[in-house]
Amino acid sequence: MVRFFLRRVAGAAMIMVIISVVTFVLFYAVPRDPARAFCGKICPPQNLALIRHNLGMDDPLFVQYWHWLAGVFTGRDLPQFGECAAPCLGYSFATREPVFSAILDRLPVTLSVTFGAAVVLLTFGVVTGMIAAWQQGRPLDKIASASSVIGASLQIYFVGPLLVFFAVDTLGLLPRPAYVPITEDPGRWFVHLLIPWLVLSIIFTANYTRMTRSVMIEQLAEDYVRTARAKGMSGRTVFLRFAWRGAMIPIVTIFGVDLATLLGGAIITEQTFTLHGIGELAVRAVQNTDLPMLLGVTLVGAFAIVTLTILVDVLYAVIDPRVRLR
Amino acid sequence: MSRTTPAGPAAGNGGITTWKGHMRSSRRSAAAAALLMAGALALAGCAKGGGGGPVASAGGTPVQAQENKAVSAITVGGAEESRGPAPAVPGSKRGGTVTMIDRDDFSHLDPGRVYVNYLSTVSLLFTRQLTGYRQENGRLTLVGDLATDTGTTTDGGRTWKFTLKEGLKWQDGTPITSADIRHSFERLYAPFITEGPTYVQQWLVEGDYRKAYEGPYDGMSLDAIKTPDDRTVVFTLTAPHPDFNFTVAMTGYGAVPKAQDTKERYDRKPFSSGPYKIASRVTDKSMELDRNPHWDPATDPIRNAFPDRWHMEFGVQAQNSTDRFLADSGADRTTMTFHNPLSPERVQEVVGDPSAMARSVRGLTPYTTFYNINTKRITDVKVRQAIIKAWPAKQIQLVHGGEANSGKIATTVLSPTVIGYEAFDLYGTLAKPTGDPEAAKALLKEAGQPNPTIVYAYNQTPTQEKVTVAIREALTKAGFKVVAKPLNAGTYYDAIGPVDNGFDVYWGGWAADWPTGSTAIQPLFDGRLIADNATNYSHLNVPEINAGIDAANAITDPVEAGKAWAALDRKIMEQAAVVPEYYRTYFGLYGSGLGGVEFDPMTGLQYPLNVYVK
pLDDT digits (tens, 9 = 90+) for B552-562: 887 777 678 88
pLDDT at B381: 96
Write A8-11 long-range contacts (CB < 8 A, 24+): A8/A310, A8/A313, A9/A310
Determine the 3-state secondary structure of A202 from DSSP.
helix
The 3-state secondary structure of B185-243, one letter per residue = HHHHHCCCCCCCCCHHHHHHCCCCHHHHCCCHHHCCCCCCEEEEECCEEEEECCCCCCC
Q: Are residues A169 and A58 part of one domain? A: no
**In angstroms, what CA-CA distances link B453 with B70, B320, B495, B506, B575?**
39, 43, 20, 14, 19
Q: Judge whether A326 lies within some domain.
A: no
As a whole number, the mean pLDDT across chain A is: 83
Which residues, at least 6 apart from B226, have a Cβ–Cβ distance to it below 8 Å? B233, B234, B236
**In angstroms, what CA-CA distances link B148 with A163, B44, B126, B142, B455?**
56, 20, 19, 12, 55
Q: Are residues A73 and A201 part of one domain? A: no
Helices (H), A80-98: none
Query: Over 60: is that where the pLDDT of A326 sits?
Result: no
For B119, other C-beta atoms within 10 Å of its C-beta total 27
Q: Judge whether A267 lies within some domain.
A: yes
How far is Cα B547 from Cα B569, in angstroms, rounded to an integer? 14
Which of the four pLDDT bands, split at 50, 70 and 90, describes residue B47? very low
**In angstroms, what CA-CA distances link B565 with B270, B550, B558, B582?**
38, 11, 10, 19
Query: Over 60: is that where the pLDDT of B363 sits?
Result: yes
Which residues, at least 6 apart from A247, have a Cβ–Cβ distance to it below 8 Å? A212, A215, A216, A218, A219
**In angstroms, what CA-CA distances link B138 with A266, B141, B607?**
45, 10, 11
Query: Over 50: is that where the pLDDT of A154 sits?
Result: yes
User: DSSP string of B153-166?
Assistant: -SSSSSEEEEEBPT
Query: A40 and B194: CB-CB below 8 Å?
Result: yes
Q: Is the peptide bond before A108 cis (omega within 30 degrees of 0)?
A: no
CB nearest A96 (choices: B116, B267, B531)? B267
Q: Are residues A267 and A208 part of one domain? A: yes
pLDDT tens-digit readout, B509-545: 998 888 778 888 999 999 998 988 888 999 999 999 9
pLDDT at B532: 85
Q: What is the mean pLDDT of residues A96-120?
A: 88
Least confident window among A125-139, B451-465, B586-600: A125-139
Q: Are residues A83 and A198 part of one domain? A: no
Q: Are residues A304 and A179 part of one domain? A: yes
Which of the four pLDDT bands, split at 50, 70 and 90, describes residue B137? confident
Chain B partners within 8 Å of A276 (Cβ): 284-285, 315
The number of distinct structural domains making up chain A is 2
Q: What is the mean pLDDT of residues B59-63?
A: 32
pLDDT at A228: 84
Query: Over 60: is that where the pLDDT of B29 sits?
Result: no
pLDDT at B7: 35
Query: Over 60: is that where the pLDDT of B14 sits?
Result: no
Of A78, A99, A120, which marks where a domain is finished?
Answer: A99
Q: Judge whether A87 lies within some domain.
A: yes
Burial label, B486 (beta-carbon count in 10 A; 0-12, 13-18, 19+): middle
How far is Cα B523 from Cα B510, in angstroms, rounded to an integer? 10
Is-contact A294 A28, C-beta < 8 A?
no
pLDDT at B27: 33
Name the nearest CA neighbour of A27 among A297, A305, A214, A320.
Answer: A297
CB nearest A274 (choices: B316, B523, B535)? B316
For A63, other C-beta atoms within 10 Å of its C-beta total 11
Task: Identify the closest residue of chain B to A281 by CA–CA distance.
Answer: B284
Q: Judge whether A324 lies within some domain.
A: no
pLDDT at B165: 97
Query: Over 60: is that where the pLDDT of B71 sits?
Result: no
As a whole-number percent, the residues of chain B with pLDDT over 90 amount to 64
Query: Over 90: is that where the pLDDT of A306 sits?
Result: no
A227: domain CATH number is 1.10.3720.10
CB nearest A42 (choices: B194, B198, B263)? B198
CB nearest B264 (choices: A30, A32, A81)? A81
Return the ∠ at Cα A197 (arms to A191 and A201), rounded to 5°.
155
Of A66, A99, A132, which marks where a domain is finished?
Answer: A99
Positive/negative CA dihedral, A245, A250, A256, A258 = negative
A11 contact B CB<8A: no
Q: Are residues A274 and A147 part of one domain? A: yes
pLDDT tens-digit readout, A221-256: 888 888 888 888 887 777 777 777 778 888 888 887
pLDDT at A324: 63
Query: Over 60: is that where the pLDDT of A292 sits?
Result: yes
Report the predicted TM-score, pTM, of the whole model to 2 decimal places: 0.76
User: Chain A 161-180, CB below 8 Å of chain B: which residues?
Assistant: 169
Q: Are residues A41 and A109 part of one domain? A: no
Task: Identify from A27, A32, A38, A42 which residue to disrupt to test chain B contact, counting B C-beta atoms within 10 A and taking the largest count.
Answer: A42
pLDDT at A265: 73
Q: Are residues A68 and A13 part of one domain? A: yes
pLDDT tens-digit readout, A180-233: 888 888 999 999 999 988 888 887 788 888 888 888 888 888 888 888 888 888
Query: B533 and A48: CB-CB below 8 Å?
Result: yes
Query: B284 and A276: CB-CB below 8 Å?
Result: yes
Of A82, A99, A116, which marks where a domain is finished?
Answer: A99
Query: Over 70: is that where the pLDDT of B1 sits?
Result: no
How far is Cα B546 from Cα B549, in angstroms, rounded to an integer? 5
pLDDT at B207: 87
Q: Are residues A136 and A277 part of one domain? A: yes
Of B156-160, B364-368, B376-380, where does the model show the most confidence? Answer: B376-380
pLDDT tens-digit readout, B395-410: 999 988 888 888 999 9
Q: Are residues A116 and A42 part of one domain? A: no
* Domains of chain B by start residue, with CATH: 363-585 (3.10.105.10)
pLDDT tens-digit readout, B275-306: 999 999 988 889 999 999 999 999 999 999 99
Q: Judge whether A325 lies within some domain.
A: no
For A85, other C-beta atoms within 10 Å of its C-beta total 12
Name the nearest CA neighbour of B342 among A289, A132, B353, B409.
Answer: B353
Query: B263 and A82: CB-CB below 8 Å?
Result: yes
Residue B210 or residue B24, greater confidence: B210
Instruction: Kindly report the nearest CA distance between residue A192 and chain B, in angstroms.
Output: 16
Is-contact B69 B443, C-beta < 8 A?
no
Which of the four pLDDT bands, split at 50, 70 and 90, describes residue B5? very low
Which of the four pLDDT bands, split at 50, 70 and 90, describes residue A325? low
Q: Are residues A109 and A44 part of one domain? A: no
Which residues span the domain enclosing A206? 105-319
Query: B264 and A95: CB-CB below 8 Å?
Result: no
Q: Judge whether A120 lies within some domain.
A: yes
Residue B21 or residue B459, greater confidence: B459
pLDDT at B259: 95
As a whole-number percent, the residues of chain B with pLDDT over 70 amount to 88
How far is Cα B547 from Cα A287, in angstroms, rounded to an integer? 42
Q: What is the mean pLDDT of residues A118-136?
A: 85
B174 DSSP assignment: P
Q: Are residues A282 and A251 part of one domain? A: yes
**In angstroms, what CA-CA distances link B301 with A228, B77, B271?**
89, 11, 20
Which of the four pLDDT bands, split at 50, 70 and 90, describes residue A323? low
Query: Over 90: is that where the pLDDT of B357 sits?
Result: yes
Is-contact B266 B184, C-beta < 8 A?
no
Query: Over 90: is that where the pLDDT of B41 sits?
Result: no
Q: What is the mean pLDDT of residues B346-364?
A: 90
User: DSSP string of B4-44?
Assistant: ---SSTTGGGTT---GGG------HHHHHHHHHTTT-S-EE
Q: Judge whether A143 lies within some domain.
A: yes
Q: Judge whether A66 lies within some domain.
A: yes
Which of the four pLDDT bands, split at 50, 70 and 90, describes residue B466? very high
Helices (H), B315-426: 318-327, 347-351, 354-357, 381-390, 393-399
Instruction: Kindly report the nearest CA distance between residue B188 and chain A, in angstroms.
Output: 12
ipTM of the shown complex? 0.71
Which of the four pLDDT bands, split at 50, 70 and 90, describes residue B439? very high
Task: Identify from B18, B283, B323, B328 which residue to disrupt to test chain A contact, counting A C-beta atoms within 10 A and taking the largest count.
Answer: B283
As a whole number, the mean pLDDT across chain B is: 85
Return the ∠ at Cα A92 (arms to A91 and A97), rounded to 5°.
65
Instruction: Kindly report the nearest CA distance between residue B200 and chain A, in angstroms.
Output: 13
